[in-house]
A = this chain, B = another copy of it.
Amino acid sequence: MPKLPQISDAEWDVIKVLWDRGEAGAQEVTEALAVGRNWRPQTVKTLLNRLVKKGAVAYVEDGRRFIYRPKVSRDAVARAESRSFLSRVFDGAVTPALVHFMKLGNLSKADIEELKRTLDRETKP
C-alpha cells in the first residue's frame, strides 16, 4: 500500500474534486472550485503538482493537457488524518473524541439511530 502523504488544507480541496469525479483536468478542477475558493488557475496547478510530487495523485497526458486522478483512496487518507487528529487532540483515545463530537450537537433522530446501529455492529467482531 502506498505510504500516505501529508495533505494540506488547500490540497484537500483539490483532491476532493478528483475523488468526486474520478479524474479531471486542471481547468475542470479550477472551475469546480470557483465557488468558495476563488483561486487563480496557476494556484490550482501548483497544488495539483504538489499532490503529484507527494504521490497522492497521478496523471496521464491527453494531448498537451494532463488528466489527474487520485492515487490514494479518500478513505485511507481520512483514516490517516483521523488518527493524527486523534493523537494530537485526544491523545489517541477514540471514545472521548466520539463523546466530544456527539456533543458538538445537531444530531437528528435519524442520525442517532444510525449511530446506534453502527455501535451494535461494532459490538461483536
Q: What is the minimal beta-carbon distance from A100 to any residue of chain B, in angstroms? A: 6
Contact A122 B112 (CB under 8 A): yes
- CB-CB contacts of A90-123 with B at 8 A, as 1s and 0s? 1100110111111111110101101110110011
* 4 cross-chain pairs, A with B, having the tightest CB-CB distances, nearest first: A95-B111, A85-B85, A81-B89, A102-B118
**Copy total for this chain:** 2
Partner of A101 from B16, B97, B106, B111 at Cβ < 8 Å = B97
Q: What is the minimal beta-carbon distance from A84 to any residue of chain B, in angstroms? A: 8
For chain A, the count of residues having a C-beta within 8 Å of the partner chain is 37
Partner of A82 from B12, B95, B101 at Cβ < 8 Å = B101
Q: What is the minimal beta-carbon distance from A83 to any residue of chain B, in angstroms? A: 8
Residues of B within 8 A of A104 (CB): 79, 82-83, 86, 94
- Check if A88 is an interface residue, CB within 8 A of chain B: yes
Given contacts A98-B102, A100-B78, is CB(A107)–CB(B85) below 8 Å? no
Contact B103 A122 (CB under 8 A): yes
Contact B12 A89 (CB under 8 A): yes
